[in-house]
Structure 1
Amino acid sequence: MKTYLITDPSYYGSSTDSLESSLEAVFSKNIPDFILYRDKSASEYPQRASAFVKICRRYTIANVLLHGDYLLANTLGADGVHFTSTQFDAITEAKKMGLYIVISTHSHEEAKRAQELGADAITYSPIFFSPAKGEPKGLEDLKEIVDKIRVPIFALGGITTQEQIKAVEECGAYGFASIRYFI
């Protein structure tokens, strides 16, 4: 089961120094397979993203992704980009750059579209209750989508315990993505 850490400024701070110290604390316990720098409100996103990539390279994180900006991901030497569910049209251009593409999906239709457009993986959410993320999809729906879609699926949303990780693994998910699990 692959692990996917998603950063959030409310847990990792809003400065480069706080991001670095938070990541070092996390990496002392767990090195994720995938990691995403996500800060939707940072006015200095490019500078922090650059620092993020450098920090992750020091720890030899295998798949370093940036949120939404494939041009910046390419410029900074990140491995890929994680698109929102409104960025399907960017998949083709990002793929031309050789970037690994993850896209957020919230329905079977979105998951199918991501697969058709060539996404390398998707997140499917929310599986469990997650603050301000809507009604949970649940494990039965996760199992159903895993059985329908060939593209690797990261279960996302409210995954904070080993029991939840085991449950999504039993559904056949490629991995799980979380903000709070890694804190």
Structure 2
Amino acid sequence: MKSYLITDPSYYGSTPDTIESALDVIYSHRFPDFALFRDKQTSNYADLSHTFITLSRAYKIPHVLLHGDYALAAELKADGVHFTSTQFDEIPEAKKQGLYVVISTHSYEEALKAQDLGADAITYSPIFHSPEKGEPKGLDDLKEIVAKIRVPIFALGGITTEDQIKAVEECGAYGFASIRYFI
């Protein structure tokens, strides 16, 4: 079961120092297979991304991704990019850059579209209750998507406990993604 850390400025701050401090604590007790720098509020995303990538590389995180900006991900030599569910048309360009592409999906149709466009993996959410993310899809829905889609699926949304991780693993998910689990 792969683990996928997603940052959020409310837990990591929005300065190089706060990001470095938070990651030092997290990486010293949890080692994710994938790590995504996501901060939708900052005007300093490029510099903060550089800090995130540098520190993640120092800790030897296997897959370091940036959120939504494939050009910046390629420029800063991140391993990949994680797109929102409104960025399907950018998948081919990111793949041309040699990036690992993850895209957020919330339905079977979106998952199938991501697969057809060549995404390397998807997140499917929300599985459990997650603040401001709508009605949870639940484990039965996750199991159904896993059975129909060939691309690796990260379960996302409200995953904060070992029991929840075990439950999504039993559904056949490739991995789980979370903000709060890693805090």
Quick check: TM above 0.5? yes
TM-score range, shorter chain: over 0.9
Deviations 1:87-122 (A, max 9, x none): 000000000010000000000000000000000000
1:11-34 Cα shifts (integer Å, max 9, x gaps): 001111000000000011011000
Please state how far the C-alpha of 1:175 moved relative to its aligned partner: 0.1
2:38 maps to what in 1? 38
Alignment of 1:1-183 (within 5 A): 1-183=1-183
Once residues 143 and 42 of structure 2 are traced to their aligned partners in structure 1, the CA distance between those partners, rounded to angstroms, is 36
- Secondary structure of the structure 2 residue equivalent to 1:36: strand
TM-score, normalised by the number of residues in structure 1: 1.00
Gaps of 5+ in 1: none
RMSD, aligned CA:
0.3
| Partner Cα distance (1:173, 1:36) in 2 | 19
Aligned sequence identity (%):
73
2-structure distance, mates of 1:78, 1:4: 15
Residue 29 of structure 2 aligns to a residue in which SS?
coil
Please report how far the alpha carbon of residue 123 of structure 1 lies from its aligned counterpart in structure 2 after TM superposition: 0.1
TM-score for the superposition, normalised by structure 2: 1.00
